[in-house]
A and B are shown apart, each in its own frame.
Chain A
Amino acid sequence: MKNRKEILGLKFRPQNFSRKGVGTAVGTILIIAIFTAFFAVYLYMANNNIESRTKLNFESLSLMKLKSTFLLFNQSLGTTWLISTVQAVFITGDESVGCGKDDSRLSEGYWYQRRPDAARDGQTDSRGNPRIPAADKYNIPGFNPQICYPRDQHVKEYILKILDERDFLRLRQLRPEEAGGITIIIQRDVNDNEKVGATINMNLKDDRIESTFSQKITASYGNGVGVIDRQTANDNTIFTSLKQMAAAGRSVVESLSVFGDGRTGGPGPPPDPIGYGVQNQPSNTAYQSVYKDLIESTIRAASSPIPGGNIAIVTTTGLEANTGQTAGVIQLPRSGLVFHFVSMVTYSEPARYYYHNVAENKFEKKPIELTYKVEDYLPALSCVEYQEPAFPSGIALMNWQSPDDMMCCAGFLFSCGSSINSLPSTNQIATGGSMVNSGSGDDQSTCLNTLGGRGVQCTAAGFMIS
């Protein structure tokens, strides 16, 4: 039986080494050495691999951080443009597409405004200029009525103007610590270094506004070791029927301009319902109410179908005697009544977006609205129109506050026991009083002269002609 050393091949003989035993021992040592060398090489390579992977990972960290920060910032910027565009759309609607704001020929917010001191122009003025502008936002200065007629192009231009002029593009350059150590630079506007040099494309559609903001962004880290330099584009869609609202507003302007044409304030029947209305209403209040309904129904009809689903009309009316200031409506002072109305029309749609209320520094959900105003002066009653034979001596009794307390006589307007705005006191006869013929050619004398010696008394029941 072989001993332990023999089994291992290490046949050790103290006195004499056999050649075979030495060879086996050397072989064994060599094998161990080779295994050890392999193991060392493995460990070395493994460690090297780990080190290089770690180094690669550090590079990856910076690159991933750069890439991710760039993409996330671009997405954040897209959201910035969305919020900004929403605000610009809100402002555009609230500011009536800038009508009267970017030009002083109309008062602010008005799309249709008549000056009462000048004659009304028809479809064209004396120089052939059209009432409804062919392509411009406004009809020519001096046209009466003055009209703002914002087409789609003007709506788009105003939204872009708001974005440009109300600080929406004035985004501050970022400091590296505001981007996790990444340096981000957005290219600036060539004319204004404070603004982002973004190219904005906008498309108005019936139910939405599509916009694309394009800008160059550079992101870098480590003194330009890693750089991303790209032209990015952010597409946004705002669901609003602003385009349809503007179209409805233009339609209202056209309807009201036609509505005011050819009015004389003479007696009815229609097609001059204004004068006819005064004659037949129990009071001036009732007349204004009827007329207000007429105006509003005209606006609603012109707006139909109501864009966005809702329309609110706030109309204020006035009825007063004509003066020199309203000579463009009824030429001869004290000869009639001028009806004046201002309607504020607001189209609105369901609330989808948040409006930045700057005064209160709040974002509040509210509907996108388009608001505009229309104003006109119309002849409600022109006594000059009440002539014989229908009205002998030009006398027509009407109701101001009570039956027969207002009268046209010889082309002039008189009141009995009631006060008509802007009517001189000489034309307002107190209850129990009578007209006096002074022979000086005043309105009372002219009336009495026309009556040929008959008198006019103001009683509790109104004017009585003796």
Chain B
Amino acid sequence: MKGMNVSDTFWTLILAVFISVMIILGIFIWLQIHLPFFSTADPVSYSIEFVHVVNKPFMVTEVLAHVRFDDRSVLEQSIETAVTSPENASTTSLPRYLSDYLNAYDLREYQVSIKNGNNALMSFGSTKAKCGDNLDNPEGWCVSRFSFPSGVTSSCGTGRAQINPTQLTCDVTQRCCKEDRTASTGNTIVSCGPSGQGVCSEGERPFYSWAYEKIWGTTWKYTCEENRVDLGNPPECKAANGGNTRACCAPQTAENEVDAGLAVKSVVPLQYKQTTATLEVTAR
């Protein structure tokens, strides 16, 4: 130190400021990502994910529109199903074919429906995170017993019940949870969401959230249990069950995901004579 001159001091300062800025920047970004008062979503990842999410169902539909199963294209089978029924159009094996086909793609979730108005003539989806005894339409979702950073979860959440299927089971680290508003969890069932599709549930929050609330004086955002559609923390849930069920959670169906803005639905009109139906594909 004895021989340090003005230039040494200057560069020491530069280094110190640089390190400080980096630390501030790092903290700022961390805060921006994690703390609710900065942003509820990560804009950067959102931006990247956005195009992907929007494109995916259309890409899947585009692929399906060119695929032939047995001796007809998917669109042919879809139109003929819409005009008659899966049995009368000899298309009862279409869901199985399409599931096998789509499972080859790395889709997190998908749902394919042929609808005539509100009447679903055929509907099937991904069974990747599903469980249950109904193999065509498994009734439950696999939910991790342990979740970071909230720790070990004790239940499926309010409005869901644990089931023990024998056909399509989850791995040992998961439990199978079925949406069931009649299930008793000790909490009162309170409907929530724009059309009452959700249930106020305990949700999940990290172990340090209580400290956050103490320091900042604001409430931590509760997120839904795994494989449920998070509809936020509406006022009706904050007041429900003594503030213990603040997360509004809806079943993870394609409709709920689309309503919540988590997924986009591709709708292809199917027409034949006076019949008009739709082929709807939701993919994430």
Contact = CB atoms under 8 A, between A and B. Distances in A.
A231 to B, nearest CB: 18
Contact of A68 (B25, B58, B278): B58
B62 A72 contact: yes
Contact of A77 (B9, B43, B271): B271
Contact of A64 (B12, B17, B55): B55
Given A31-B14, A179-B267, A61 B54 contact: yes
B174 interface: no
Interface stretch (B65-73, B121-129, B191-199, B232-240): B65-73
Interface string A60-74: 110011001101110
Contacts of B84: 361-363
A286 B264 CA distance: 75
Given A9-B9, A361-B84, A364-B90, A83 B268 contact: no
A53 interface: yes
Contact of B266 (A60, A77, A84, A180): A180
B54 A2 contact: no
Contacts of B51: 57, 60, 64
A171 to B, nearest CB: 5
A127 to B, nearest CB: 46
B111 to A, nearest CB: 14
A352 interface: yes
Contact of A178 (B2, B75, B90, B278): B278
B79 A79 contact: yes
A39 B4 contact: no
A64 B268 CA distance: 14
Interface string A164-183: 00011011101000111100
Contact of A80 (B43, B65, B79, B264): B79
A354 B44 CA distance: 50
Contact of A356 (B44, B75, B83, B266): B83
B55 A9 contact: no
Contacts of A184: 269
B46 interface: yes
Interface in A72-91: 72-73, 75-77, 79-80, 82-84
A57 B9 contact: no
A171 B12 CA distance: 78
B58 A50 contact: no
Interface of A is mostly: helix
B88 interface: yes
B88 A363 contact: yes
Interface residues of A, number: 55
A389 B54 CA distance: 99
Interface in B125-169: none
Contacts of A71: 62
Given A76-B75, A352-B71, A363-B90, A9 B13 contact: yes
Contacts of A53: 47
Contacts of B28: 43
A24 B9 CA distance: 10
A438 interface: no
Contacts, number: 151
A35 B266 contact: no
Interface string A291-322: 00000000000000000000000000000000
B210 interface: no
Contacts of A80: 79, 270-272
A83 B274 contact: no
Contact of B276 (A51, A60, A68, A172): A172
B269 A73 contact: yes
B47 A69 contact: no
Contact of A2 (B1, B14, B62): B1
Contacts of A170: 273-274
A340 B2 CA distance: 132
A83 B72 CA distance: 10
A72 B65 contact: yes
Contacts of A179: 267-269, 278
B50 interface: yes
Nearest to B267: A180
Contacts of A54: 43, 46-47, 50
A83 B79 contact: yes
Given A72-B266, A79-B76, A171-B271, A7 B4 contact: yes
- Residue among B9, B266, B267, B269 with the highest chain A CB neighbour number at 10 A: B269
A205 interface: no
Interface of A: 1-2, 7-9, 24, 28, 31-32, 35, 39, 43, 47, 50-51, 53-54, 57, 60-61, 64-65, 68-69, 71-73, 75-77, 79-80, 82-84, 167-168, 170-172, 174, 178-181, 184, 352, 354, 356, 360-365
Given A54-B50, A57-B54, A72-B65, 4 more contacts: A31-B14, A39-B21, A354-B76, A360-B88
18 contacts: A7-B4, A7-B9, A8-B12, A9-B13, A50-B47, A54-B43, A69-B267, A71-B62, A72-B61, A72-B266, A171-B272, A180-B266, A184-B269, A354-B72, A354-B80, A361-B84, A361-B88, A363-B89
